[in-house]
Structure 1
Amino acid sequence: MSALEPAAAPAAALDALLDALSDPVVRDLAWLLFSAPLLRGHPPAGELAVAFETADESAATLAWLLELDRDARPLREAISATRIVRLGRYAECLLGYFLQHGPAARLIAANVALRLAGRTIGECDFLVETALGRRLHWELAVKCYLHAGGDRAQLADYVGPNLQDRFDLKLKHLLGHQLPLSAREEFAALGHGGPWQPQMFVKGWLFYRWRESPPVAHAVEPAHHRGFWVTRGEWSSLCERQPAARWIVLPRLAWLAPRRAVSNADADGAGLSEAGALAERLAQQSGPTMVASFERTGAGLGHWSEAQRGFVVPDEWPAQARSFALATDLG
C-alpha cells in the first residue's frame, strides 16, 4: 500500500503527501483539504464539512494534487487574479479552485450575499453539490488562536494574536448567524434551489504557552495542529534549548501548511537564520510574530525541515490575553 493512500493514518498520510509536493500553493491546498479540523462537530446546527464523500474521491484528489504540482500555473494564476492580503481570503480562493476543478464536490455558487431591506446581512461562503446529490452550504474559517495560559479549558481561552478575535465568539457567530443563512426564507428567493445542509469547514492552528500543557477545551478536535507561543523575554531561553535550530519569520499567507524542506545549500536563500539574527528582527516588531524552527533531517542530514512553529509575543501580551479571555461583554 502506498504511503499516500487514504487508508493510511490521517497525520501520516498528510505528512507523506506534503513531502511529495513541492509548490507552496499546492501544498497549502493539500493541507487545507486533508488537515484535521480545529473543532469537533456541533450537530445538528454545526456539522463538520468533509471534503470527500468516499475513499475513491480522496484517492482521486491525491492524484489530482500530484498532477497539479507538476504544473501549478493554473492555480497560481487563479490566486494572483485576486489581490489577497488576508489568510481567510487566501483559503477561500484555494478551496474555491478545488471545488471548480477538483474531482470531488462541485461548486454551485460562492460568496452568495443575502440582503434585507437593501442591507447585506451575510454571505454564504460556498454552495456545493456532491456526487451523491447532497446539497451543502459550507462556511469556511481558517484561524490561528493562542491559548491565553492557565488551567482553564474553555473556547474563550483561545484568542487571536492581536486580541481582536476569540474562538468562542467565532463559533457563536458560525452557529447563530452564518450557518442558518441558507435556511432563511429570503435566501430561497435568490433562486439557489435547496434545501441546503449547513456545515462548517474550520481549519487552522492552536498555540499553547511554552512549557505549559493546559487541558484542551472539549469543543476542540484533539488531533488539531498545534504550536507554541513565547514572550520576547522568554525567547532566548527557548532558543538555548534548540541550539542547532534555524529560524524564519512566517508571513501571514504562509500560515497554512508547514514550509517545504530545503537543502543545506539553499538554507540561506530560503531565509533561515540563527536565533540571534532572528532576535534582532523580532526586536523591530511591535506585535505578535509567527516564527518557525527548522532542524536538519534526511539522509546525511542534508535538508532543513520545519520542526515547529509558534508566536513570539510582547512581554505585556499574556496579561492582556487573559483579560480578553475573561471578558464577558464582547458579544
Structure 2
Amino acid sequence: MIAAVTGHMNGDHPEDNLLIARAFGYPDAVSSRMVGVTGEAGVWLVADASGEREVSVPWPGGAISERPEIRREVVALYRSACEKLGVPAREEHGSASPHGAHHHGGAQRGRHAAGDAESGEKPFSTVVRESSWSDHSDSEGATFMEDIMRGKGSLQDYIDLVAQHFYMYEALEESSDRFAADPAFAPFHSRGLVRMPAIEADLAHLIGDDWRERIEAVPATAAYAARIREIAEEGWVAGLVAHHYTRYLGDLSGGQMIAKRVAKQHGLDREGIAFYDFSELGSLVDFKNEYRVALDALGAGLDDEERARMLDEVRAAYAFNTAVFIDLGKARDAVAA
C-alpha cells in the first residue's frame, strides 16, 4: 500500500509534493517526492539550496491506523498546503467525499470535466483508479519495494526485481500479442510500451550473458504470470486490460521515480534501467491521458456485471504485485539469515 501511495503521488501529483514541502517548513524547496507513510505522518525527500533531507509532515487529522485513512490525510495535507500558500486547491479536492479526491492528473482533468458535468457520472478510468486505491495489500513483509524507493535496497534487490519483471512481461506481452488485432484491445497496446527487449538487455548488463540460467520466478510471480495467461486463453479482453493497466500505467508513473532512485544509488545509466525508458511514446502525460480515454471508451461498452468483474481483476493484479514483493522480501531474508 505504501509503495502504491508514494508511486501515485510521485507519478501523478509531483506538484502536490512540492506544495506540501514549501508549505510545511521548506519554502525554497526545488524538488520533493513522497518516500514513506507512517501512522503519524507522511514522509517526503525534499531538496533545496542546502541539500536533501527526509521531512515528516504530521497528518492533519492525527494518527491513523487504517489504509483508507491515508488518502484522506494526503488530501487534507494538500488542501492545507494550498491554504498556507494562498494557492487555489483543484476542484477535485473540494469534495467532502473521501473517494476519488486524488485521482486525476493534468490534462485528464480538463478532458473529463465536461463529461462529468453533463452525465453526473465519473469516467470509467477514474472508477478503475478509485477501486484499487484501498485494495493495495499492506503487510509487514511487503517492504521490499519501499526499500528500493527509499534508496535502502541493494543492487541485488533491484536485480531480483528485474528478474521477476521478465516472467511478468513475458506473459503479459505474449497475451497482448494475441489480442493485437482486437479493436477493443488495440487502443491500449502501443508498440512503444513493449518491455521485453529492454528487460533482456537490462538482465544481460546486470547479470551477464548467462542470465537466463541464473534467474527464477518466485511463487507469486509464477502465479501472476499463470493468471495472465489464463485470461488470454479465456479470450477476456477486459481482464487483460486490467493487468495491462496495472503494470504499464504504474511503470509510466511511479516507475519513473524508481528509475531515478536506482540510477542515482547504483550509478546506472540507461544500461540496467532501460526497462523504464519510454521515450518512444513521446510525452508520458499525453500518453497516459490517451490511455485513460481508451479506458473510458472500453467501460462505456461494458455492462454493470462486466465492469464489476474487471474492477475485481484490477484489485487481483495489485494483490499479485504485493505478493511478489512479499516473496522477494522473504527470499532476501532467507539469504541473509
Using structure 1 for the length normalisation, give the TM-score: 0.30
| Higher radius of gyration, 1 or 2 | 1
Higher share in strand: 1
Which fold has the larger relative contact order, with Cα–Cα distance below 8 Å and residues 6 or more apart in sequence?
Answer: 2
